[in-house]
Amino acid sequence: MPRAKRGFKRRRRHNKVLKRAEGFVLGRKNKFKRTAEAVDRAQIYAYRDRRVKKREFRQLWIARLSAAASTNDMSYSRMVAALKKAQVKLDRKVLSDIAIVDPKAFSAIIDQVRLLAPAQ
Task: Count how many domains the chain has.
Answer: 1
72 in a structural domain: yes
CATH at 106: 1.10.1900.20
Q: Which domain holds residue 75?
A: 7-116
At residue 119, the pLDDT reads 58
Burial of 9 (0-12, 13-18, 19+ CB in 10 A): exposed
Closest CA to 99 of 55, 66, 58: 66
Decide if 1 is inside a domain: no
**104: in domain:** yes
CA pair distance 1, 96, nearest whole angstrom: 69
- Answer yes or no: is 63 within a domain: yes
Tens-level pLDDT at each residue, the chain (120 residues):
778 777 788 899 999 999 999 999 999 999 999 999 999 999 999 999 999 999 999 999 999 999 999 999 999 999 999 999 998 899 999 999 999 999 999 999 999 988 887 655
Residues 33/46/23/28 CA torsion (nearest 10 deg): -20
pLDDT for residue 120: 54
76 and 65 Cβ atoms separated by less than 8 Å:
yes
pLDDT at 90: 92
Alpha-carbon span 118 to 120, nearest angstrom: 6
Q: What is the pTM (predicted TM-score) of this model?
A: 0.77
In a domain, 2, yes or no: no
- From CA 55, how far away is CA 101, in angstroms rounded? 22
